[in-house]
Amino acid sequence: MTPSDPGTADYVVVGGGTAGCVLARRLLERTDGTVLLLEAGGDPDGIGSVTTPHRWVENIGAAHDWGYTYAPTEHVAGRTLFLSRGKVLGGSGSTNALVWVRGHRADYDGWAAAGAQGWDHASVLPHFRDCEDWEDGASEQRGAGGPVRIERPRDLHPVAAALVEAGVSYGMPYLDDVNVAEPCGVGPINTDASAGVRTSTWTGHLRPVLDHERLTVVTGARATRLVIAGGRCTGVEYVRDGQPAAVSASREVVLAAGAIDSPKLLLLSGVGPAAQLRAVGVDPVLDLPGVGRNLQEHPILGGVCFAAREALPPPNNNLEGTTAFWRSDPALAVPDLQFVAVQIPYVSPEVAARFPVPENAFVIAPGLMTVASRGFLELTGPDGGLHVQPNMLAEQADVDALVTSVEIALDLAAQPAFAKLVERRAAPGDDTSRAALVDFVRQAAMPYFHPVGTCAMGVHDAAVVDPQLRVRGIDGLRVADASVMPTITSANTNAPTAMIAERAAALVAAG
Ligand SMILES: Cc1cc2nc3c(=O)[nH]c(=O)nc-3n(C[C@H](O)[C@H](O)[C@H](O)COP(=O)(O)OP(=O)(O)OC[C@H]3O[C@@H](n4cnc5c(N)ncnc54)[C@H](O)[C@@H]3O)c2cc1C
């Protein structure tokens, strides 16, 4: 990494996570400009929990985690929920569970229908394809030769294999590739891993071009404020080794600090709901009411847990290996549930405290992928204190779908493939009445660590960026990360974020 900062660049990218690594690489390729990337964390290579897929849970709360929390509500039984965010090159894409899925065609067509012109499925497909090197090679849907190697997990763990067998006997179609345009069924997951090692936009996009003459990567550099003068963003202030510094951008600043830190930086720079900014001691520069609103998160249940009949083999792949997309209501057009079978007892601390959960156990963990609940984040003071409230399970529709997901998980567990692995159910308990399951859902719900939507793209008053990802009302400034999703995708958010950055670089290059 470049030890010092030249103080100026054509493009300054803030945040070297999933999106930032793509942006830096593609801006070098698509423009003739110099690129300076500011990343608060350091180099992930050599961190075993980053590189080794089945150790990813060790990243949660590690030194390279920002360690945010979601504030409690009664909807999640008054619990404060840990919100993991990677603080390292590759960002959360270096620390995540390696699931590489795009979601459903309808997710993107929905964005476009709501005003995000140019983000419909047909338009974003080329960017998904450009990003990946899929093991089966190129097709209309999949890409090959791109920076991020994507494979199906090998040597499926018995728990992973059982999910597929049980899903099929339950009535789900078998999906050989979960990244078809309209996934519904069960099959091997796609992961960004190869030969037992994590791949990512860090390993695929950025690391190979580190010595590019037009690139400067400054690590350990935490951006603190955007420099905005006369309606234009001209640079970024940051802190490195406890020392304040600044870099100016002659063409553009692109925020890619993720769905928590991108809106936080805008707010700290006076861009956001003016009254709320004044109330916490920040002078407003631009009244942009949508900044920090519209927060969406997928709840995952940890979980429907089973003591195993015989000693399970050591965990492998990404602890999952397979997945199912399914509907809580057959009338739904798009599957709203995703199931994974986790090879360890991945349960919330409250479930663990209530039920005797043995070590030799696994869970069927349903996630709600189409959420009605909306949250927000806001500053608590001028120095960056943050209140993050996802309002998970605030909407009854979300609770209802998750209760159904537990019932489906119990039905899956009753299929012969799981029945032969199970000694007894550890959680939930014998009472599976609706009231008991509602209570269980509120205790078991954990964040999937998929916050999005806090700098939403659109053309309405609450939009923060326009469909070209330009911050509305400020020149020379874009946001290009998970925060711009108007609505959360109906599957994990990493591949969609990489796609957003691929498209963003094309938009920047187009001027
Ligand atoms: C534990 C975990 C498991 C997950 N599992 C999956 C999964 O299996 N599949 C999936 O699809 N998604 C998963 N996700 C979510 C997925 O990884 C994210 O949606 C995606 O990485 C978001 O990309 P991003 O670029 O928006 O943000 P990030 O990748 O989080 O990148 C933001 C970057 O900005 C840096 N940064 C922040 N603030 C500043 C600042 N002020 N100055 C300088 N740098 C800053 C951060 O350090 C970070 O490197 C998981 C996330 C976590 C944390």
Domain residue extents for the chain: 8-47+200-295+452-510, 152-189+297-450
Q: Token pair of 339, please?
A: 């199931």
Residue-by-residue pLDDT tens, the chain, 511 positions:
555 788 999 999 999 999 999 999 999 999 999 999 999 999 999 999 999 999 999 999 999 999 999 999 999 999 999 999 999 999 999 999 999 999 999 999 999 999 999 999 999 999 999 999 999 999 999 999 999 999 999 999 999 999 999 999 999 999 999 999 999 999 999 999 999 999 999 999 999 999 999 999 999 999 999 999 999 999 999 999 999 999 999 999 999 999 999 999 999 999 999 999 999 999 999 999 999 999 999 999 998 999 999 999 999 999 999 999 999 999 999 999 999 999 999 999 999 999 999 999 999 999 999 999 999 999 999 999 999 999 999 999 999 999 999 999 999 999 999 999 999 999 999 999 999 999 999 999 999 999 999 999 999 999 999 999 999 999 999 999 999 999 999 999 999 999 999 999 999 999 8
The architecture (CATH level 2) of 152-189+297-450 comes to 2-Layer Sandwich (3.30)
C-alpha dist (Å) from residue 350 to 77, 79, 246: 10, 9, 45
Distance 449 CA to ligand 1 centre (A): 9
The architecture (CATH level 2) of 8-47+200-295+452-510 comes to 3-Layer(bba) Sandwich (3.50)
Instruction: Give, for ligand 1, the residue of 57, 383, 494 to mutate: max count of ligand atoms closer than 8 Å to Cβ.
Output: 494
Contact 115, 463 (CB under 8 A): yes
**Rounded to 5, what percent of the chain is helix, strand, coil?**
30, 25, 45
Please give the positions annotated as active site. 450
Query: Is 448 assigned a ligand-binding role in the annotation?
Result: yes
Q: Which residues contact 308 (CB under 8 A, 6 or more apart)?
A: 360, 361, 362, 421, 422, 423
Q: What is the pLDDT of residue 511?
A: 87
152-189+297-450 matches 8-47+200-295+452-510 in CATH topology: no
Distance 493 CA to ligand 1 centre (A): 9
- Quick check: CB of 152 below 6 Å from ligand 1? no
Query: Is 59 assigned a ligand-binding role in the annotation?
Result: no
- Quick check: CB of 406 below 6 Å from ligand 1? no
DSSP reduced 3-state for 314: coil
Contact 305, 426 (CB under 8 A): yes
Report the chain's terminal Cα–Cα distance, integer Å: 29
Instruction: Give, for ligand 1, the residue of 92, 247, 318 to mutate: max count of ligand atoms closer than 8 Å to Cβ.
Output: 92
C-alpha dist (Å) from residue 135 to 22, 173, 193, 246: 20, 22, 11, 43
Q: Which residues contact 187 (CB under 8 A, 6 or more apart)?
A: 164, 174, 175, 176, 177, 178, 322, 323, 324
Q: What is the pLDDT of residue 3?
A: 56
With the C-alpha atoms ordered 19, 24, 29, 33, is the resulting torsion angle positive or negative?
positive
With the C-alpha atoms ordered 170, 173, 177, 183, is the resulting torsion angle positive or negative?
negative
